[in-house]
């Protein structure tokens, strides 16, 4: 059984004292003679790194040190080649910098498999379960981040993930410290972050996270969503990639965007294992082409895409009013919008910055506060204030609403005129914001499924009208009677554009 790749920090270990008989250290005079210019610390770091990730064998007795050096140099070249460095075989500053970078903890050169079987599940519906939690985040937040990390892969393939509350799920998620029963003990803070196992019976597919680390949903500490998405790639059968843009690249990148985590390579590999998504791709390149779209050009630079508003698969990422007579619709994945006059049939459409030049990003959530005649457009951790179609000032952080630091994005938002509250939906939880006092209500977040009967999924967009909240989920819209507290009907999202 091979341990899956996991994020680790490489530690520089203290060399044994003069009374030690440990055979794994090279005396300083030998180092000076054989690797001119390298310190003992650099050599120790490189030796541990190459042994861990590139199959460097245990050091030979001192009498055979000259035989050992060519093997050491060869492994340095292997590592340099993997990371696209100059293959000098020497421990230059660039090589040592990569060796010191937090990264996945299993070999870059061994074949990846579980019990020597094909690296895939023989089914497309995968169950998962969460056992022990971390104390760094609320349980509901961990649940949401794990679900989101799995959805990175389901959006790109035919896979479906179903949560189980048993100990027999395909992927068992656990937070643990040191020895935790799988022969791969964790090493405390700032060492190995997590590991996982390839598809298979028993421990196959399981993902473990070191609870001595600081887990967050933001850029501080270690982002659970990013680490989990990487580990679940291994749980599904993917190996490490040499492409720095790939989610499966060995090193941890806290600056990676939370949207479109997968590279084209990642998508191609997951599709080769489980088949491509039949309806809607994971994301669309600005230069790409999809049958749902027709190309048109803005100037002579690059093609944009005009989305078919009557497509059966049409879904919205945000919807809001812009004034009392106009509605604005933002599609999933695109820096695009439709503007519909509520009393007319004509619809204007195009890139967002055609209408709002200050905004050059997709919109994740939006809401309208009538008494202020103001719309708020949210993208990741920032929001714009819009009156009419005029963007007022610079974007501001969503932390202004009173979110805790781990909240870095919002799935949907809606203002309830009757109560003066704005509801923010994030994965499977939601917050209630008092627009009069401009503070978050106490006792939140709450589970969406607890307070909105019949809604057990992530919300893409929401809008309030005449006592009904319209929840947009993929191509469907759920009509939720806010007084009766129940879903009273469904319709297709494209009907909102007159289709």
Cβ atoms within 10 Å of 117's Cβ, excluding its own = 14
Cβ atoms within 10 Å of 342's Cβ, excluding its own = 10
The H or E element that residue 268 is part of is helix 264-274
For residue 461, give both structure tokens. Answer: 């967009």
Instruction: Identify the sign of the CA torsion 23, 51, 117, 236.
Output: positive
Bind-site residues for Zn(2+):
104, 180, 182, 195, 208, 230, 234, 240, 248
Phi, psi of 286 (to 5 degrees): -60, -25
Yes or no: say if 431 and 403 are a contact pair by the CB < 8 Å rule: yes
For residue 403, give both structure tokens. Answer: 């979110």
Catalytic residue among 147, 174, 231, 409: 231
Residue with tokens 């589970």: 447
**Could you tell me how far CA 22 lies from the centroid of its own chain?**
43
Bind-site residues:
104, 136, 170, 180, 182, 187-188, 195, 204, 206, 208, 210-211, 213, 230, 234, 240, 248, 317, 364, 366, 413, 460
For residue 245, give both structure tokens. Answer: 């843009």
The Cα 323–Cα 270 span in angstroms is 44
Closest Cα to residue 28, out of 47, 14, 45, 41? 41
Q: Is 231 a catalytic residue?
A: yes
Residue with tokens 């050491």: 72
The Cα 367–Cα 1 span in angstroms is 51
Beta strands in 359-440 (DSSP E): 365-369, 374-379, 382-387, 390-397, 412-416, 421-426, 429-434, 439-440
Contacts with 248 (C-beta within 8 Å, 6 or more apart), sequence order: 5, 230, 233, 234, 238, 239, 240, 241, 266
The Cα 135–Cα 113 span in angstroms is 32
Q: Is 90 helix (H, G, I), strand (E, B) or coil?
A: coil
Which ranges in 106-236 belong to alpha helices (H)? 139-154, 224-236
DSSP 141-205: HHHHHHHHHHHHHHTTBS-EEEE-SSS--SEEEEEE-S--SSS----STTSB-EEEB-SSSTTTT
The Cα 366–Cα 392 span in angstroms is 15
The Cα 219–Cα 11 span in angstroms is 22
Bind-site residues for Ca(2+):
136, 170, 187-188, 204, 206, 210-211, 213, 317, 364, 366, 413, 460
Yes or no: say if 191 and 308 are a contact pair by the CB < 8 Å rule: no
Where in the sequence numbering do the catalytic residues fall?
231
């Amino acid at each position: 059984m091979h341990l899956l790749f996991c994020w680790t920090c490489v530690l520089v270990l203290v060399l044994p004292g003069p009374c030690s008989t440990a055979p794994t250290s090279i005396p300083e005079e030998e180092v000076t003679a054989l690797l001119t210019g390298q310190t003992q610390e650099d050599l120790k770091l490189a030796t541990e790194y190459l042994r861990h990730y590139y199959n460097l064998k245990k050091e030979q007795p001192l009498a055979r040190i000259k035989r050992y050096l060519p093997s050491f140099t060869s492994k340095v070249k292997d590592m340099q080649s993997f990371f696209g460095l100059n293959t000098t075989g020497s421990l230059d500053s660039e090589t040592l910098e990569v060796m010191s970078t937090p990264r996945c903890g299993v070999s870059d050169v061994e074949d990846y498999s579980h019990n020597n079987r094909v690296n895939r599940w023989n089914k497309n519906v995968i169950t998962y379960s969460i056992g022990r939690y971390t104390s760094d985040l609320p349980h509901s937040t961990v649940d949401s981040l794990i679900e989101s990390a799995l959805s990175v892969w389901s959006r790109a393939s035919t896979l479906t993930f179903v949560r189980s509350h048993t100990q027999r799920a395909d992927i068992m998620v656990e937070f643990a410290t040191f020895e935790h029963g799988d022969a791969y003990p964790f090493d405390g803070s700032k060492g190995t972050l997590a590991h996982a196992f390839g598809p298979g019976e028993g421990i196959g597919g399981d993902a473990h996270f070191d609870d001595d680390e600081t887990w967050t949903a933001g850029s501080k500490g270690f982002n659970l969503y990013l680490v989990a998405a990487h580990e679940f790639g291994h749980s599904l059968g993917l190996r490490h990639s040499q492409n720095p843009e790939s989610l499966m690249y060995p090193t941890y990148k806290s600056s990676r965007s939370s949207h479109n985590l997968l590279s084209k390579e990642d998508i191609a590999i997951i599709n080769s294992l489980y088949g491509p998504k039949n309806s809607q791709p994971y994301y669309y390149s600005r230069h790409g082409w999809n049958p749902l779209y027709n190309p048109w050009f803005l100037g002579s630079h690059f093609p944009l895409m005009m989305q078919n508003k009557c497509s059966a698969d049409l879904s919205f990422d945000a919807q809001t009013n812009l004034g009392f007579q106009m509605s604005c619709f933002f599609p999933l994945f695109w820096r695009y919008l439709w503007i519909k006059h509520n009393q007319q049939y004509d619809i204007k459409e195009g890139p967002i910055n055609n209408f709002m030049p200050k905004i050059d990003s997709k919109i994740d959530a939006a809401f309208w506060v009538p008494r202020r005649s103001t719309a708020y457009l949210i993208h990741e951790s920032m929001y714009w204030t819009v009156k009419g179609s005029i963007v007022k000032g610079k974007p501001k952080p969503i932390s202004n609403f009173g979110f805790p630091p781990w909240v870095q994005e919002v799935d949907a938002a809606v203002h309830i005129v009757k109560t003066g509250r704005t509801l923010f939906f994030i994965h499977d939880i939601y917050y209630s914001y008092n627009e009069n006092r401009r503070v978050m209500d106490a006792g939140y977040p709450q589970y969406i499924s607890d307070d909105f009967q019949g809604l057990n999924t992530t919300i893409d967009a929401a809008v309030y009208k005449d006592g009904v909240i319209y929840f947009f989920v993929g191509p469907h819209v759920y009509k939720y009677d806010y007084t009766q507290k129940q879903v009273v009907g469904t319709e297709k999202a494209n009907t909102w554009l007159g289709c």
